[in-house]
Amino acid sequence: MIRLLARRLAWAVFVIWAVTSIAFVVNNVLPSDPARMIAGPQARPGDVARIRKQLGLEQPLGQQYGSFLRRLVHTGPTTVAPDDKEHANCATFGPIHLDLGRSYQQRRPVVVVLGERLPRTLWLAAAAMLAQVLLGVATGVFAAVRRNTVWDHLAVGGSLLGISAPTFLLGLGLQFLFAHELRWLPLDGYGLTFADHAVCVVLPALTLGIFGAAFYTRLVRDEMIGLMKRDYVRTARAKGLPEWKVITRHALRNALMPLVTVIGLDLGALVGGAIVTETLFRWPGIGALSVTALLDRDGPVIMGTVLLTSTAIVLSNVAVDLMYAALDPRVRK
Amino acid sequence: MRSTRRQISATGRLVGVLTALALLGLAACREPLEPPIGAAHPGETTPRRGGKLRLASIGDLRGALDPATSAEALGRGAIEIMFAGLVDYDEAAHVVPDLASRWELSDDGLSYRFFLREGARFHDGEEVTADDVRRSIERALHPSTPNPWASLYDMIAGYDEYTQKGAAHLAGVVVEGRYVVSIHLHDKDARFLPVLALPTLRPVCKSAGERYSDSWAPCGAGPFRLEAGGWDHGRSLTLVRHEGYFRPGLPYLDAVQWTYGMNMMTERFKLEAGDLDIVRDISQADVVRFQTDQRWNPLSVFEPVRSIYGESMNTEMPPFDNVEVRRAVAAAINREHYREVRPSAVTISNQAIPPAVPGYDPTFRGQEYDYPAALEHMRKAGYPYDPATGRGGYPGEITYYAYRPGLQEYTAQLLQQDLAKIGLQLTIKLVSFPTFVALAYRRKTTQISNPGWTEDYPDPSDFFDPLFDSSAINEDQSQNSAFYRNPRLDEILARARHELDETRRFALYGEANRIVCDDAPWAFTHNYRFYIVHQGYVRDYRAHPVWPENVGKTWLDRAADAVSSTSPGAAASWASLTGALSRPSGRRASH
């Protein structure tokens, strides 16, 4: 198990390095100028050139990449003094420093910007995942049990609609119904207190949840239909177990195995930020930040979000692998 | 058989449910607007103090709130009310005294002496003095400051020495007493006062220091100030009244709050719910709804038009190196079709100066749609085209760059159709805005594109100098995107820069306008204007020709029990959740 973990972690580090390196190159070879985006489209060329120089963008790409890697993880003082300019942009983990540079646009350390945004995205990701698992599993089981009835068709048709409908459309519909018409929930935002956050997360989490649940519904339904025909389920019924126990204890438990993989992958993607949903609901998370950074060609923030997203996805994959290994001895072999 | 019938029946029911939902959605979209909330004391004209004005924006404020570095339109509104300048623009775009009670211009036109108001205070309570004015100017123009506007001030004496040769001070800025400061120019320059009224050189508190630092907490002498925690990055900005503001009694508002990153529909919903006071980002469909709603129409206004858009033709690349082809393009474009893409926001343009900028001549015809004339210009260019047979025209293909999202996505197709009628075949390439900026202003790269220009300061020079003067040509990042060079025009523009008599100066720009319209480096197409809607209780709010938010004299007259619904507070949400399904009732205007 330890060897498996070590192998997976080594592979994860390589993948993260590869993704960030590709992102760095792509971001820097695009025909656009971050200094121009800072100065605005109407600034004079001389002023833009001065800003470009101040940002160090005139250095060769290789030199910029080397500087980025050297700075990314390094060692330094455990606590950074306020006047320590060399480590002013660092997040410290004891003597280990993580330095993603300073945002071109916001003129603040990227680790600070990400530190503000990450908890909000994690909160939304957790709520959305809860919504999509509960909705998806419940509807999938229901459809499988009521196979070929109108309820099954509604569930399958509804899931098709959920997968097909763009999230922005779904979000707008929910906003219109629950915020504008019924006025039960806030239209958007994040709020100031924990109670605010709890209320504000409902609509964006539902938007993501319905979208994700549609896929889960079909997955669970199909698995359940297959499992309900298996011998051990028939045996359970023959032993006189109530139907709900047969479904939940025997069929559902096994039907959830493939779901674990999908949940792991989805969770990683959600931590990377739900770009459309965060933008629509003015949720100040990683997704909305990524959009702004891309439009601004804010290199340090782009690299920060890429690093964060790839780490989240890779680590969630590692977690899924380990979970599988724990659940299924065959994988360990 | 039975199973098939059941399936058909189930499918039918499913289709029925989905149809019903779709119809419900459509009905919801056609719902009339909620009425605006009226003033509590409609007959009263004496301003009342108090209240927080709530604004929203589709964009996010990203850059620092520092007048020396801000380049964003969003930040401009906030910086304008946080930092008072020596001079400002009035509602007719004229330069008027602000922190300086008056100024004198020397006989040779080279020196401006500003007399500061005594007792004017920064947000931290310190008095604003001439030393602060000089320190702030030197801080803003220092070469270590990422100032995107620094070179606008290159007319100040000693600018080159200070910014490029390491001089310790800017020689042209001289303190002549605690409340008197002089600014010397190396040449007469009519642009000086208009650019001085921009936020860039406005005095900042002593806490800003001598040199720029991005960790500084914004502090100025304007009517509103930023409190600790007032700027929640990526979400909102709240400014509160500066009690020590030098204009007695002003401002009337307790606070101004911007919420950022709100989409257009949410802004509209919040305005209707009474959760926003003024809205500026409005979809095309909603502009029509507000305009046709008799209750909202009196509470809405179009902002003055301060930008121009046009098809910029690269005069160094064929076929646009031929002036007759450019003239043909200018005559072939049916600008009315451009207007119809977004009729509520787009107005037709036929010249280089937009209507809100002093010097604009509404009687000047400039460039106009004239199809026979366009065909004649193509013949003169050596590319005769026969519309009946489709034969002739320019044999090569022309690449047209446009960016998305934006109006250009649609106008590009109109241009393609119009130019096909005179024998010019366009290939449209849609790119992102940063890519467009990189390509459209690079030499020998883009044959034709549709850039725009929004006033930086309200003066014709802000349009002619960067867009058409040959000194604005650059290998890369060329503001003169047509790479247009005309010695006669250069000479007129140079004379206009040094001409301090406004009548003679505007006459020179009139001449420049005629040359540019005739030579057609740009085919001017349209202007863009914003539509603003506010609640009835928002009083004395007027659109300004320069500033996006003109709230210095705005006041609120909202009844205490006027409707306020859900967001952003969750408490209100729960209250409404536990209340009823019905809409809350409250006082609303019935006009």
Amino acid at A329: P
Task: Identify which of B233, B478, B567 has the shortest CB distance to residue A188.
Answer: B567
Rounded mean pLDDT of B183-198?
96
Q: Give the residue from A33, A36, A44, A120 with the most B CB atoms within 10 Å of its CB, the best one to mutate.
A: A44
pLDDT tens readout for residues B328-375: 999 999 999 999 998 888 999 999 999 999 999 999 999 999 999 999
Q: Which residues of B touch A36 (CB under 8 A)?
A: 434, 437-438, 477
Q: How far apart are CA B407 and CA B133, in angstroms?
A: 42
Residue A134 pLDDT level (bands cut at 50, 70, 90):
very high
Residue A248 in any domain: the answer is yes
For residue B8, pLDDT beyond 60:
no
For residue B578, pLDDT beyond 80:
no
For residue B174, pLDDT beyond 60:
yes
Q: Which residues of A60-87 are buried (b: 16+ CB within 10 A; e: fewer)?
A: eeeebeeebeebbeeebeeebeeeeeeb
Question: Do the chains contact at B434 and A279, CB–CB below 8 Å?
Answer: no
Kindly state the percentage of chain A with pLDDT values over 90.
24
Q: Which residues of A touch B11 (CB under 8 A)?
A: 153
Rounded to the nearest angstrom, the minimum Cα separation between A15 and chain B is 29
Task: Identify which of A42, A113, A153 has the shortest CB distance to residue B11.
Answer: A153
Highest mean pLDDT among A27-36, A152-161, B94-103: B94-103
Assessment of whether the complete model's pTM goes beyond 0.90: no
Sorted by sequence, the CB contacts under 8 Å of residue B175 that are 6+ apart come out as B130, B131, B133, B134, B181
Q: Which residues of A touch B272 (CB under 8 A)?
A: 180
Q: Which residues of A touch B569 (CB under 8 A)?
A: 186, 191, 196
Question: What is the reported pLDDT for B477?
Answer: 87
pLDDT tens readout for residues A262-312: 888 788 778 776 888 888 888 989 988 998 898 888 999 999 999 998 998
- Tell whether omega for the bond before B319 is within 30 degrees of 0, i.e. cis: yes
Task: Identify which of A183, A195, A292 has the shortest CB distance to residue B62.
Answer: A292
C-alpha distances (whole Å) from B73 to each of A34, A40, B61, B63, B266 are 17, 9, 9, 10, 21
Task: Identify which of A200, A279, A295 has the shortest CB distance to residue B570.
Answer: A200
Q: Is the dihedral of CA B139, B142, B144, B149 positive or negative?
A: positive
The residue of chain B nearest to residue A177, with distances taken between CA atoms, is: B28
Q: Give the residue from B573, B581, B583 with the most A CB atoms within 10 Å of its CB, the best one to mutate.
A: B573
Rounded to the nearest angstrom, the minimum Cα separation between A6 and chain B is 39
Task: Identify which of B25, B146, B439 has the shortest CB distance to residue A31.
Answer: B439
Residue A180 in any domain: the answer is yes
Q: How far apart are CA A166 and CA B229, in angstroms?
A: 36
Q: Give the residue from A188, A193, A281 with the most B CB atoms within 10 Å of its CB, the best one to mutate.
A: A188
Rounded mean pLDDT of B210-228?
92
Rounded to the nearest angstrom, the minimum Cα separation between B253 and chain A is 23
Question: What is the reported pLDDT for B70?
Answer: 86
Rounded mean pLDDT of B281-291?
90
Rounded mean pLDDT of A226-234?
86
CA angle B366, B369, B375 (to 5 degrees): 115
- Tell whether omega for the bond before B194 is within 30 degrees of 0, i.e. cis: no
Residue A74 in any domain: the answer is no
Q: Which residues of B touch A289 (CB under 8 A)?
A: 234
Tokens, residue B137:
């100017």
Tokens, residue B440:
């459209």
Q: How far apart are CA A324 and CA A309, in angstroms?
A: 23
Residue A120 in any domain: the answer is yes
The answer to whether the CB of B463 falls within 8 A of the CB of B352 is: yes
For residue B120, pLDDT beyond 80:
yes
Q: Which residues of A touch B18 (CB under 8 A)?
A: 157, 161
Question: What is the reported pLDDT for B574?
Answer: 40
The residue of chain A nearest to residue B164, with distances taken between CA atoms, is: A50
Task: Identify which of B10, B266, B573 has the shortest CB distance to residue A150.
Answer: B10
Number of domains in chain A: 1
Cα dihedral B555, B560, B566, B571, rounded to 10, equals: 120
Question: Do the chains contact at B62 and A46, CB–CB below 8 Å?
Answer: no
Q: Is the dihedral of CA B511, B512, B513, B518 positive or negative?
A: positive
Question: Do the chains contact at B261 and A186, CB–CB below 8 Å?
Answer: no
CATH of the domain at A294: 1.10.3720.10
For residue B394, pLDDT beyond 60:
yes
Tokens, residue B53:
């004005």
The residue of chain A nearest to residue B229, with distances taken between CA atoms, is: A192
pLDDT tens readout for residues B416-467: 999 999 999 999 999 988 889 889 999 999 999 999 999 999 999 999 999 9
Rounded to the nearest angstrom, the minimum Cα separation between B83 and chain A is 20
pLDDT tens readout for residues A242-261: 888 888 888 888 888 788 87
Residue A119 in any domain: the answer is yes
Residue B562 pLDDT level (bands cut at 50, 70, 90):
low
Q: Which has the closest alpha carbon to A15: A236, A242, A309, A302? A: A309
The answer to whether the CB of B403 falls within 8 A of the CB of B433 is: yes
Rounded to the nearest angstrom, the minimum Cα separation between B305 and chain A is 17
Rounded to the nearest angstrom, the minimum Cα separation between A79 and chain B is 19
Residue A90 in any domain: the answer is no
Other residues' Cβ atoms within 10 Å of the Cβ of residue B445: 17
- The DSSP secondary-structure symbol of B35 reads P
**Average pLDDT along chain A:** 87
Residue A187 in any domain: the answer is yes
Other residues' Cβ atoms within 10 Å of the Cβ of residue B247: 13
Question: What is the reported pLDDT for B40?
Answer: 93
More confident residue, A273 or B518: B518
What are the helix (H) ranges across chain A? 2-29, 34-39, 45-55, 61-72, 110-145, 150-164, 167-174, 194-200, 202-227, 231-238, 243-245, 253-255, 257-271, 275-280, 286-296, 299-327, 329-332
Question: In the A/B pair of chains, how many CB contacts fall below 8 A?
Answer: 189
The residue of chain B nearest to residue A189, with distances taken between CA atoms, is: B568
C-alpha distances (whole Å) from B416 to each of B322, B337, B369 are 19, 12, 15
For residue B9, pLDDT beyond 60:
no
Question: Do the chains contact at A195 and B149, CB–CB below 8 Å?
Answer: no
Residue A239 in any domain: the answer is yes
The residue of chain A nearest to residue B29, with distances taken between CA atoms, is: A176
Question: B501-509: long-range contacts (C-beta < 8 A, 24 or more apart)?
Answer: B502/B358, B505/B190, B505/B359, B506/B358, B506/B359, B506/B460, B509/B353, B509/B359, B509/B460, B509/B461, B509/B464
Q: Which residues of B480-499 are buried (b: 16+ CB within 10 A; e: fewer)?
A: bbbbbbbeebbebbeebbeb
Rounded mean pLDDT of A126-144?
91
For residue B511, pLDDT beyond 70:
yes
Q: Which residues of B touch A172 (CB under 8 A)?
A: 265
Q: Which residues of B touch A282 (CB under 8 A)?
A: 235, 259-263, 266
Question: What is the reported pLDDT for A295?
Answer: 83
What's phi and psi for B346, nearest 5 deg? Answer: -105, 135
Question: Do the chains contact at B434 and A36, CB–CB below 8 Å?
Answer: yes
Other residues' Cβ atoms within 10 Å of the Cβ of residue B513: 24
Question: What is the reported pLDDT for A58?
Answer: 87
Tokens, residue A259:
């779901």
CA angle A199, A203, A206 (to 5 degrees): 120
Estimate the crossing angle of helix A167-174 against helix A202-227, to 10 degrees.
120
The residue of chain A nearest to residue B18, with distances taken between CA atoms, is: A158
Kindly state the percentage of chain B with pLDDT values over 90.
73
Q: Give the residue from A187, A278, A279 with the most B CB atoms within 10 Å of its CB, the best one to mutate.
A: A187
Q: Which residues of B touch A295 (CB under 8 A)?
A: 432-434
Tokens, residue B310:
């046009």
Q: Tell me if ipTM is over 0.85.
A: no
Question: Do the chains contact at A296 and B576, CB–CB below 8 Å?
Answer: no
Question: A198-201: long-range contacts (C-beta < 8 A, 24 or more apart)?
Answer: A198/B570, A199/B570, A199/B573, A199/B574, A200/A281, A200/A283, A200/B567, A200/B568, A200/B570, A201/A123, A201/A124, A201/A127
Q: Which residues of B537-576 are buried (b: 16+ CB within 10 A; e: fewer)?
A: bbbebebbbbbbbbbbbbbbbbeeebbebbbbbbebbbeb
Rounded to the nearest angstrom, the minimum Cα separation between B315 and chain A is 20
Question: Do the chains contact at A184 and B576, CB–CB below 8 Å?
Answer: yes
Rounded mean pLDDT of B510-521?
97
Residue A158 pLDDT level (bands cut at 50, 70, 90):
confident
Task: Identify which of B60, B262, B474 has the shortest CB distance to residue A292.
Answer: B60
Rounded to the nearest angstrom, the minimum Cα separation between B206 and chain A is 19
Sorted by sequence, the CB contacts under 8 Å of residue A277 that are 6+ apart come out as A124, A167, A171, A204, A207, A208, A283, A287
Q: Which residues of A touch B583 (CB under 8 A)?
A: 183
For residue B26, pLDDT beyond 80:
no
Alpha-carbon Rg for chain B in angstroms: 27
For residue B591, pLDDT beyond 70:
no
Task: Identify which of A32, A196, A282 has the shortest CB distance to residue B262.
Answer: A282
The answer to whether the CB of A122 falls within 8 A of the CB of A316 is: no
Question: Do the chains contact at A183 and B583, CB–CB below 8 Å?
Answer: yes
**Average pLDDT along chain B:** 89
Rounded mean pLDDT of A105-109?
89
Task: Give the domain range for residue A118.
Answer: 111-332
Amino acid at A35: A
Question: Do the chains contact at B148 and A48, CB–CB below 8 Å?
Answer: yes
Rounded to the nearest angstrom, the minimum Cα separation between B67 and chain A is 13
Question: What is the reported pLDDT for B22?
Answer: 54
Rounded mean pLDDT of B524-542?
93
User: Residue B319 burial by CB count (10 A; 0-12/13-18/19+): exposed, middle or buried?
Assistant: buried
For residue B131, pLDDT beyond 50:
yes
The DSSP secondary structure of A254-308, one letter per residue, reads: HHTHHHHHHHHHHHHHHHT--HHHHHHTT--SHHHHHHHHHHHT-HHHHHHHHHH
Q: Which residues of A touch B143 (CB under 8 A)?
A: 50
pLDDT tens readout for residues A88-99: 889 989 899 999
Task: Identify the helix (H) or strand (E) that includes residue B272.
Answer: helix B264-273
